[in-house]
């Protein structure tokens, strides 16, 4: 096996701690769209959890690269400041954004799991165990498994993620959802919860994440703080119907740490009640949090995780879908009854809050706004009344349309500064009405480069990413991020 000399990766241990959704972001895991996204075909799109096929080059160069530049400017500006025009020039070094290239920016604050995977694959024991595990899942031949074992680490990492060999031969399905690193794992205070995806199409992602966090020296100090969700005892002996009920599935889009003592977990299309119950038990036993609020949302594709229906913008500001809120009830009293029948799901949202100190006596919230107001006031100490910004400015039919393209799925870079998609026009109007500046990411990067402003100066702002292709993947900036470190509020 030949190893190529490449830029030395960061291996020092890094601080891992997240106690809120909006504390200043300091370290995050993101995955740049890989060639597997360009291999999705219409006949397999739904099996691979995609609604559409994307144009990979546009997604990479015109959209995701801009997201990366924004992240780098806020988290690790030395890696990108002054280089934007150089990289964007026709002859520019696009390889700066490719984690398998020696000129990759190699930040220890904006981290690509492909880079971490390549590093651990240099260890022969890890390499052989991971190859064997993936080949068993993918049911490949012994000869192919042997061929993978002889590959150079960076090429092997690319192949295990994309499913494609260096000669462009596809050997197994891609994992196009790997760009949604939120679903890989969640940092809860100083613990890491490894998730269990509900769909077979994401099994390889979970395996890769497991091996990275248990074997990369960056996380060596974290080993006794990694939480894995147990299956029910002897679950494989249960009848099929009961086995489905007791499946332990949980994805990161259904988990939010809103304060150091309070976690939100959704029961959804992808997260099972059994898994939620197990996580609550473990977190309470380990004294990680004191309170867990459980939100049962409709099992619908458009409400895949709780972060598709609401996210936090600021300590006292939230963006949410009106149809699943008090506003949805208000809309029923208007003249839209016939049109809204297909989207009326208010009565399907159930919210229960469990406290370590109060055992099995949960507190119930009738509306989503009630829970969010309680968090802002009682967990985060806000005196002023919370502000709710609604998808599509809560105008029919734009609320549902823009929620479908992730108007509610925003990543906070710091308190009051969030990243969203440029196509959600009515939601942007709602942000303006709430007193926020709305700016295109490309314009903001130009201002940074010209010295007109800096990330430190940006306040109360919605940053808009170009999103013609990214939005087709059905995940926003919240989905495309796994925060490892935020400042405490």
* Tokens of residue 280, six digits: 């609550």
Measured from the Cβ of residue 390, the count of other Cβ atoms closer than 10 Å reads 26
pLDDT tens, position by position, 114-138: 999 999 999 999 999 999 999 999 9
* Tokens of residue 214, six digits: 């248990």
- The answer as to CATH 3.75.10.10 being correct for domain 25-93+180-202+222-486 is yes
Strands 461-465 and 437-440: parallel
H or E stretch at 111: strand 110-111
* Tokens of residue 406, six digits: 């992730």
Residue range 227-252: mean pLDDT, rounded: 73
Least confident of 42-46, 58-62, 435-439, 442-446: 42-46
Residue range 225-252: mean pLDDT, rounded: 75
CB 480 within 8 A of CB 180: yes
What are the residues whose beta carbons fall under 8 Å from the beta carbon of 443, sequence distance 6 or more?
Answer: none
pLDDT tens, position by position, 373-423: 999 999 999 999 999 999 999 999 999 999 999 999 999 999 999 999 999
State the Cα–Cα distance between residues 213 and 202, nearest whole angstrom: 17
**What is the C-alpha radius of gyration for the chain, rounded to an integer number of angstroms?**
22
Query: Sign of dihedral through CA atoms 225, 19, 485, 391?
Result: positive
For the whole model, what pTM was predicted? Answer: 0.91
Domain residue ranges of the chain, discontinuous segments joined by +? 25-93+180-202+222-486
Q: Give the chain's largest Cα–Cα span.
A: 70
CB 32 within 8 A of CB 72: no
pLDDT tens, position by position, 240-256: 665 555 678 999 999 99
CA of residue 324 relative to chain centroid, distance: 21
Residue range 162-184: mean pLDDT, rounded: 92
State the Cα–Cα distance between residues 129 and 152, nearest whole angstrom: 16
State the Cα–Cα distance between residues 67 and 73, nearest whole angstrom: 10
């Amino acid at each position: 096996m030949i190893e190529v000399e490449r830029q030395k990766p960061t291996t020092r241990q890094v601080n891992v701690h997240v106690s809120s959704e909006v504390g200043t972001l300091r370290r995050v895991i993101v995955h740049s769209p890989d060639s597997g996204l360009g291999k999705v075909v219409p006949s397999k799109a739904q099996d691979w959890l995609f609604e559409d096929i994307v144009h990979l080059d546009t997604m990479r160069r015109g959209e995701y690269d801009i997201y990366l530049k924004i992240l780098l400017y806020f988290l690790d500006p030395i890696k990108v400041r002054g280089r934007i025009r150089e990289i964007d020039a026709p002859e520019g070094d696009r390889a700066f954004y490719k984690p398998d290239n020696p000129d990759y920016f190699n930040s220890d604050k904006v981290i690509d799991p492909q880079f971490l995977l390549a590093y651990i694959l240099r260890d022969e024991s890890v390499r052989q165990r991971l190859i064997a595990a993936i080949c068993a899942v993918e049911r490949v031949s012994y000869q192919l498994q042997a061929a993978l074992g002889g590959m150079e680490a960076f090429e092997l990492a690319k192949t295990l993620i994309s499913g494609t060999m260096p000669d462009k031969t596809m050997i197994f399905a891609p994992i196009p959802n790997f760009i949604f690193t939120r679903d890989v794992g969640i940092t809860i205070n100083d613990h890491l919860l490894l998730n269990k995806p509900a769909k077979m199409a994401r099994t390889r992602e979970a395996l890769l994440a497991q091996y990275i966090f248990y074997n990369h020296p960056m996380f060596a100090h974290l080993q006794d703080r990694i939480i894995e969700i147990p299956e029910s005892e002897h679950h494989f002996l249960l009848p099929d119907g009961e086995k489905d009920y007791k499946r332990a599935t949980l994805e990161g889009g259904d988990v939010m740490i809103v304060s150091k003592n309070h976690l939100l977990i959704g029961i959804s299309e992808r997260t099972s009640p059994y898994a939620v119950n197990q996580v609550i038990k473990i977190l309470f036993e380990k004294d990680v949090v004191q309170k867990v609020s459980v939100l049962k949302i409709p099992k619908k594709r458009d409400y895949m995780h709780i972060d598709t229906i609401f996210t936090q913008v600021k300590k006292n500001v939230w963006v949410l879908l009106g149809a699943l809120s008090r506003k949805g009830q208000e809309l029923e009293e208007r003249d839209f009854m016939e049109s809204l029948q297909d989207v009326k799901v208010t009565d399907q949202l159930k919210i229960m809050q469990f406290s370590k100190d109060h055992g099995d006596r949960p507190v119930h919230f009738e509306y989503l706004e009630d829970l969010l107001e309680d968090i802002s006031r009682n967990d985060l100490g806000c005196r002023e009344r919370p502000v709710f910004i609604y998808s599509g400015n809560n105008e029919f039919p734009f609320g549902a349309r823009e929620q479908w393209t992730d108007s509610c799925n925003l990543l906070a870079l710091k308190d009051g500064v969030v990243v969203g998609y440029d196509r959600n026009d009515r939601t942007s109007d709602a942000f303006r009405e709430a007193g926020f500046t709305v700016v295109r990411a490309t314009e903001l990067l130009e201002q940074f480069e010209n010295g007109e402003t800096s990330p430190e100066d940006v306040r109360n702002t919605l940053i808009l990413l170009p999103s013609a292709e990214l939005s087709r993947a059905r995940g926003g900036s919240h989905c495309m991020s796994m925060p490892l470190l935020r400042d405490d509020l």
